[in-house]
Amino acid sequence: MPLTSVLLLSMALFCIGVFGVLSRRNAIGILLGVELMANAVNINLVAFSRFQGGVVGQVFAVFAIALTVAEVVVGLALVILLYRSRKDVRVDEANALSG
Amino acid sequence: MTFDVVYGLSPLLVVALGALLLMLAEAFGKPNPQGLAPTGEVSDAGAGRAGELGMGAAVVLFVGAALSLGVWLAGPDNLVGLELTRPYLIWDRFTVFVCFTLCLGGGLSCLLAGGYLTEHEIDRAEFFPLVLFSTVGAMALAAAGELLTLFVALETMSLGVYALVGLRRTPRSSEAALKYFLLGSFAAALMLFGAALLYGATGRTDLAGIGQAIAAIGQGEGPGAAQVLIALVLVVVGLAFKVSAVPFHMWTPDAYEGAPTPATSYMAVAVKTAAFAVMVRVLLIAFGDERLTSWASGWPPVLATLAVASMTVANLVAGRQSSVKRMLAYSSIAHAGYALVAVVATIRSPAAEGSILFYLLTYTVSTAGAFGALILCGSRGKEAVSYEDLAGIAKRHPAAAMAFSLFLLSLAGVPPTAGFFGKLYVFQAAIDAELYVLTVVGLLNSLVGAYYYLRVIVFMYMREPAPGATLAVPMRSGYVASALVIAAVLVIALGVLPNVTLEWAAIATVGRS
């Protein structure tokens, strides 16, 4: 499989992720979009690593996965926090702060 | 050799160790029956001990600042062992200067929290380990010379801050934290994608190596050059989110207003300082090649646009706020704009890097002081939020009003305060770099900015509170008072005798090739 097709795949995944973040109104949906973006990055890193030789890209991908997991843990905790106080996780309904 | 590394990295190590010890102290210490959760029960082991733990955290951070000073005096270049940490951590004078600023800002915020958390019954002791771990991340971020380190440091810093914002369990606070988290992780993902593209185009992950490879790719129209360009855009957008430059500032007012005030102060000073440090390093080292730093085909016009937008929009919107805390949030966006002017100036002026560092230091002491004074003006259930809350406070509590005025004047850039010299050197660097339009826009914006800072002072000294309005009653806290004294002394000292600090800032450069 040539590098270009892998890059196209990751680019498509990334764009779907960006679209999800921008169009979703549900906090969990936005989080999923961010996850897709992060996974596109991982595909990219591993593909570059394979086609250029060397393991730096793979090490980077492992770290990126760990970082994303840590991020999701904090993110879901915040979603639960918001749900406990508002019984709703739609971000467009959360408008106590504005101006 | 080992000594060099341990001594050189001591600010980072001390803060990390301090964070671990504080966590143990929180977990195994006895909860203080005086400080109960609002529901009347002891909710966690650290409850009711915000005062002492805050003191501990502040001491750790001030020790970190003192050690940074020590490393500076020993000279990071003389500590040959520090070569071992390259390219992952580049421990040069630039890093050490930023570490000092970060520890100072973090320490002041912890002192403020020691008073604030107790007063407002959000006595959750996890605040302090979070601040310390986040500061460790911020210091590593300032030092990062390699993409992997950069991301680990960025997340270490950010994750702590997300939790800090949501510390107060009210709908407003949770909402602020979630908004900040979603936008922050979105920006981090964009930056990560940019980093992956950079690795793909250059085959390197260290910033210096990337810089050389980009210079080699040069003018080419091939896929490599396109990848570099997309990566540059994504990285700049991600960094602009972190420094909260317009139009990537939407989260800032919400997060700053919803967070407990000491956390706001920490975000405004430490996160912004670290983000600017990494921005300067990435732009000058990785994207420092002649073509990308030229006005016609590189990042300078983009950053100049962000700078003008940040200063103008933030200053105009800040004047219309009714909440002082929100006004200070917009003021921090405007200050990011001034600092961005200096970042643009780095392309032609060698003094610009020093002016950014000096500016960030003056901004740190003034902003931490301003948020501290806002904390001091309120007490439980009578928090000072709006301009009306502050009306006539000078008659009732002259000391609080005087401290607030000093920090506001410094933020406005009135001589002889620290803020004046910070702005002066930034604009001097911009003139050196022949950025006359940017300088004029910056100066005009400083004038507009003076309006809303002075408006607070007018309310404090010349207005009477409306009859029947709830009066803000200043709190009594030795922690807050001592933080304000430290900040005030630094604001005046940097304003009266800026020379030594400025000379030091001037030799703290990122060492571009």
pLDDT for the residue numbered B329:
95
Q: Is residue A99 part of a domain?
A: no
B139-152 pLDDT tens trace: 999 999 999 999 99
To the nearest whole Å, the CA of A37 is away from the closest chain B CA by 6
Q: Which of B267, B273, B285 is CA-nearest to residue B346?
A: B285
Owner of token pair 């002649």: B290
pLDDT for the residue numbered B429:
95
Q: What is the domain count for chain A?
A: 1
pLDDT mean across residues, chain A: 89
pLDDT for the residue numbered B297:
81
Which residues in chain B are closer than 8 Å to A77, comparing Cβ atoms? 163
Mean pLDDT of B414-443: 94
Which residues in chain B are closer than 8 Å to A34, comparing Cβ atoms? 182, 185-186, 189
Mean pLDDT of B404-419: 94
CATH code: domain of residue A59: 1.10.287.3510
Compute, in degrees rounded to 10, the torsion defined by CA atoms B439, B442, B443, B446: -160
For residue B356, is pLDDT > 90? yes
For residue B47, is pLDDT > 70? no
For residue B470, is pLDDT > 90? no
Q: Which of A62-76, A79-93, B57-71, B226-240 has the lowest mean pLDDT?
A: A79-93
For residue B296, is pLDDT > 50? yes
The span from the CA of B324 to the CA of B16, in Å, is 34
pLDDT for the residue numbered B237:
95
Q: Which residue has the higher pLDDT, B465 or B414?
A: B414
Residues in chain A: 99
Say if residues B264 and B214 touch (Cβ distance below 8 Å). Answer: no
B199-226 pLDDT tens trace: 999 989 999 999 999 988 876 666 788 8
For residue A99, is pLDDT > 50? no
Interface confidence (ipTM) of the complex: 0.94
A32, containing H or E segment: helix A27-52
To the nearest whole Å, the CA of B253 is away from the closest chain A CA by 8
Q: Is residue A11 part of a domain?
A: yes
Say if residues B384 and B374 touch (Cβ distance below 8 Å). Answer: yes
B181 part of contact set with chain A, CB < 8 Å: yes
B162-194 pLDDT tens trace: 999 988 888 888 889 999 999 999 999 999 999
pLDDT for the residue numbered B98:
97
Q: Do A99 and B326 touch (CB under 8 A)?
A: yes
Mutate to test the interface with B, among A3, A78, A91 (most CBs of B within 10 A): A78
- DSSP, collapsed to helix, strand or coil, labels residue B124 as coil
Which structure tokens are listed for B128? 């302090």
Owner of token pair 């050490």: B96
In the A/B pair of chains, how many CB contacts fall below 8 A? 125
For residue B196, is pLDDT > 60? yes
Nearest CB to A81 within list B169, B179, B186: B169
DSSP of B301-316: HHHHHHHHHHHHHHHH
pLDDT for the residue numbered B383:
75
Q: HEC string of B54-123? A: HHHHHHHHHHHHHHHHHHHHHCCCCCHHHHHHCCCECCCHHHHHHHHHHHHHHHHHHHHHHHHHHHCCCC
Residues in chain B: 513
pLDDT for the residue numbered B34:
57
- DSSP, collapsed to helix, strand or coil, labels residue B386 as strand
Which structure tokens are listed for B264? 């706001």
Cα B224 to Cα A52, B76, B203, B486: the distances in Å are 13, 36, 11, 51
Say if residues B133 and B19 touch (Cβ distance below 8 Å). Answer: yes
Range of the domain at A31: 3-90
Q: How many CA atoms lie within 13 A of B172 on its CB side?
A: 11
Q: Is residue A96 part of a domain?
A: no
pLDDT for the residue numbered B221:
61
B239-281 pLDDT tens trace: 999 999 989 999 999 999 999 999 999 999 999 999 999 999 9
To the nearest whole Å, the CA of B177 is away from the closest chain A CA by 7
Mean pLDDT of B43-64: 83
Predicted TM-score (pTM) of the model is 0.94
Say if residues B423 and B441 touch (Cβ distance below 8 Å). Answer: no
The span from the CA of B478 to the CA of A89, in Å, is 40
Nearest CB to A57 within list B169, B170, B199: B199
Show me where the domains of chain B are located: 3-507
Mean pLDDT of B397-410: 93
B86-124 pLDDT tens trace: 889 999 999 999 999 999 999 999 999 999 988 887 777
For residue B394, is pLDDT > 80? yes
B45 Cβ contact partners less than 8 Å away, ≥ 6 residues apart: B26, B27, B28, B29, B30, B31, B125
Q: Which of B399, B414, B428 is CA-nearest to residue B366?
A: B414
Q: Is residue A19 part of a domain?
A: yes
Which residues in chain A are closer than 8 Å to B175, comparing Cβ atoms? 82, 86, 94, 96-97
Bridge partners of A26?
A: A90
